[in-house]
A and B are shown apart, each in its own frame.
Chain A
């Protein structure tokens, strides 16, 4: 039974439960709803909820757990000698899955069960048949692998059936349990409300689960990486030259340098411009100017980063190359730290300005009035009164902008280049942590080589960096914030 059909069935059962629960409640008081503890629909809802929700949860958990369980039993069927030279258990397992899918194709094309059994016993014929069906396999099929695939297929099918049976049984059990509870004294509303409350708590913990998922996947795969590549070299080596085939140098410093350099230039553009724009908008601009300029700047914030990336690639890069780096003899490449940095700065302007705008507006008017009363000009007030009062918030905003700059991907992928080097020349192409995560993980990836797994270690570094900056920003804002009133 497919998952879609099963879901429909469960939903139908739940709808039936709603009708039945409601009817039973009304019938139990001979049609006079005043005799019930709760409104009739609560009785219906209680039956529907108890029918559908546990069953759906079971299906969800089953779908997640089943592949893991099957994987582990099937992996046990493959003996060490089945794993050829240069191969790994994972590769053999992926062969097993592929063959199982191929057999599914054969069955869909009309092969009978006996034919399949015969084919499994004869790997050479199996390979030929699979090839005819469009499932090409590189190596010959080992007999063990063939039986493992057949077992895999059997277990997957059995798991599916068992899941359907279990889910339906649970649904019916919930249905009966809830339906039998329907009496005039049954506190249906309270039950339904506590049920919904549990669902709401579940929804709010999705955020926690996401974080746990991120941390687990990063730490787990990074740990794998550090098993096959020394952590010392990763953290202290100054060269980055991945070679698919072994013997790579995977030092993080060239990438970190590129990241920090690009972010630094980005902030160099964004902080003065964004801050001055915020000051002008909140202190000087007339309401009319503000009502035009502020949304216009916010449009910049709504533009996706791929657009900025394309802008860097097609406009800013060639412009900088033709008018600055080539005439000055600083570089030949249109993708450079400068290109990515300037475009990133443009992207960050609205971020800095809208955060600073809020902070500057939060400085009480009394401080300004006091300053004007002493004879200060507006700019002196801004520089000597408003700015110091808003400083913690502004530092926080800049740190958050920095964290965004470090994590930004598309602009640097398209604008900064791919060459990992440690250089001071901003017109040279350099690369960043995010660029390398993308380049190591796109295309055909094999999760056993350090060249692929290094991306997870890079991701962990990135995560720690940005999280640290954000926490630091929060800390500064909380600790140094002036509390007015």
Chain B
């Protein structure tokens, strides 16, 4: 304390008025504080922008434009033999149904007095999705009694027409588009005024399978949701028992030696391995070496299990550690064996923490996409996988991967679908996280 500072800093002239140096220090303090607030605000702003962008782009995927029309299902066309034999009914292709729709569309437009502006029948059919005829066919094949009656059928509108009413397609862009012309859109506007074109909730988005490049309007998440659900079942069934067993051993039974040290370092490192490396492992081990099928939920489930295990082990060990030693001592004191004290007392008390960790691990696994890309889950899958256990080996998609494959398609209608799929994914994740929070709040004990 021999530094001479008296000369360096002139004594303050007033106690009330801060001197220049104090002012500078206080200003620095305020600046630092503002930087902190700014950092928090940047983080929150990013969160809000992210959510707003996803919601803004994706909410419209849950509404869909339909062209409603009454279609007389003429028995002379659909069932010439008249015996409603399903095999003969199936012989009528979508082309035949397309003609029915075309006739009804023209009829309806004439009835309602919609000015078709000289558009040909083919151009008018262009307002409809190419999927409409096959939808109608499916409907009839599922219920042959409908033949001979007149059904009110909401036909899917073409993706461009749908986009026009959602503001994605404009007259200018239509002029440059080979799939739709401004004249067709003008007719669509008149149809909307006449109440023929309606926009309603798009449940098919959640149930339909993926659709081809040209039919974004009928693409849905059915196969992806099913595939994700299958994988989550596999992950839960495998990773919960294995994770809990491993944690019990490491936390309660393992002697402190080289081997357990290696296992612990290993688990910490596995949690930090990039997810794509797990994808490479799955490709080399499960698909190439073991010959499991590509795009199958079983492979996805296995690789996600390996990825989730470290998370579950870390969470389980934390909640086992949180159970006070007095519980173990009390059990041992009344003559329980070590195993009995663990399985009868410690484990039930740690269960809420374990379940919370498991749900969070599952939520992570649900959103993971990189390893699934490598095991072929990006493939175009139009058929629903069958019910488990065979279904685990059928090709399927997964929610996050479906998002990725939709972003790779040219039609901007798929971008809307991708954002819509993200909303579905986020809703699932929020539900899981909320469940974890509720579990923790309700059951977790503090000792």
Q: Which residues of A contact B (CB under 8 A)?
A: 4, 63-64, 67-68, 189, 193, 196-197, 199-208, 210-211, 213-214, 217-218, 220-221, 272-277, 279-281, 283-284, 293, 296-297, 299-300, 302-311, 313-315, 346, 349-350, 353, 377-380, 382-383, 400, 403-404, 406-410, 413-414, 434, 437-438, 441-442, 447, 455-456, 459, 462-463, 466-467, 470-471, 474
Contact = CB atoms under 8 A, between A and B. Distances in A.
Nearest to A277: B39
B47 A377 contact: no
B284 A217 contact: yes
B425 A203 contact: no
B67 interface: no
Contacts of A382: 32
Contacts of A474: 268
Nearest to B339: A193
A470 B277 CA distance: 15
A67 B403 contact: no
13 contacts: A204-B245, A210-B306, A277-B43, A293-B43, A297-B44, A304-B368, A306-B404, A314-B53, A407-B275, A409-B370, A441-B374, A463-B273, A467-B272
A193 B337 contact: yes
Nearest to B39: A276
A302 B38 CA distance: 22
Interface in B402-447: 403-404, 407, 415, 418-419, 422, 425-426, 429, 433
Contacts of B33: 280, 284, 378-379
Given A214-B277, A276-B38, A304 B429 contact: yes
B281 interface: yes
Contacts of A67: 290-291
A203 B39 contact: no
A437 B276 contact: yes
A108 B243 CA distance: 41
Interface string B14-42: 00000000000110110111011111101
Contacts of A217: 280-281, 284-285
B304 interface: no
B276 A459 contact: yes
B127 interface: no
A57 to B, nearest CB: 14
A304 B280 contact: no
Given A210-B270, A304-B364, A441-B280, 14 more contacts: A200-B253, A203-B242, A204-B247, A204-B249, A205-B263, A207-B309, A210-B281, A220-B284, A297-B43, A307-B367, A310-B54, A314-B53, A377-B26, A378-B29
Nearest to A204: B246
B85 to A, nearest CB: 23
B310 interface: yes
Given A200-B249, A211-B266, A272-B39, A306 B422 contact: yes
Given A207-B309, A293-B40, A276 B35 contact: yes
Contact of B43 (A353, A410, A462): A353
Interface string B224-246: 00000000000000000111011
Given A274-B39, A409-B275, A306 B369 contact: yes
A189 B400 CA distance: 47
Nearest to B260: A204
Nearest to B249: A200
Contacts of A308: 50
A407 B32 contact: no
B283 interface: yes
Nearest to B278: A214
B221 interface: no
A307 B426 contact: yes
Nearest to A408: B274
Contacts of A441: 279-280, 283, 373-374
A413 B247 CA distance: 35
A67 B26 CA distance: 74
B49 interface: yes
A205 B245 CA distance: 10
A305 B20 CA distance: 49
A221 B39 CA distance: 45
Nearest to B276: A409
B121 interface: no
A383 B262 CA distance: 38
A304 B277 contact: no
B275 A455 contact: no
Q: Which 3 A-B pairs have the closest CB atoms?
A: A407-B274, A304-B367, A280-B36
B89 interface: no
A167 B165 CA distance: 63
**Interface size bracket, B side:** 35 or more
Interface of B: 25-26, 28-29, 31-33, 35-40, 42-44, 46-47, 49-50, 53-54, 57, 241-243, 245-250, 253-254, 262-263, 266-270, 272-281, 283-285, 288-291, 306, 309-310, 313, 337-339, 363-364, 366-370, 373-374, 376, 378, 389, 400, 403-404, 407, 415, 418-419, 422, 425-426, 429, 433
A8 B247 CA distance: 28
A451 to B, nearest CB: 15
Given A206-B242, A277-B39, A314-B415, A196 B339 contact: yes
Nearest to B46: A346
Contacts of B275: 407, 409
B239 to A, nearest CB: 10
Contacts of B313: 207
Given A206-B242, A213-B281, A299-B47, A310 B418 contact: yes
A305 B274 CA distance: 12
B70 to A, nearest CB: 39
B374 A273 contact: no
Contact of A211 (B242, B270, B419): B270
Contact of A199 (B49, B245, B368, B374): B245
A203 B246 contact: yes
Contacts of B403: 306, 310
Nearest to A214: B281
Nearest to B303: A210
A348 to B, nearest CB: 11
Nearest to A295: B437
A465 B174 CA distance: 49
A218 B282 CA distance: 11
Contact of B44 (A296, A379, A447): A296
A91 to B, nearest CB: 14
A64 B19 CA distance: 80
Contacts of B248: 200
A380 B27 CA distance: 12
A14 to B, nearest CB: 16
Given A200-B246, A203-B246, A204-B263, A438 B54 contact: no
Contacts of B31: 379
Q: Which residue of B242, B272, B337 has the most chain A CB atoms within 10 A of its CB atom?
A: B272
A313 B407 contact: yes
Contacts of B425: 304, 306-307
A410 to B, nearest CB: 6
B259 to A, nearest CB: 9
B32 to A, nearest CB: 4
B383 to A, nearest CB: 14
A466 B32 CA distance: 33
Q: Which residue of B31, B50, B369, B400 has the most chain A CB atoms within 10 A of its CB atom?
A: B50
B397 to A, nearest CB: 13
Contacts of A408: 274
B274 to A, nearest CB: 2
B273 A467 contact: yes
A208 B369 contact: no
Contact of A456 (B280, B291, B419): B280
Nearest to B307: A210
Contacts of A63: 290
A41 to B, nearest CB: 12
Contacts of B415: 314
B166 to A, nearest CB: 15
A407 B337 contact: no
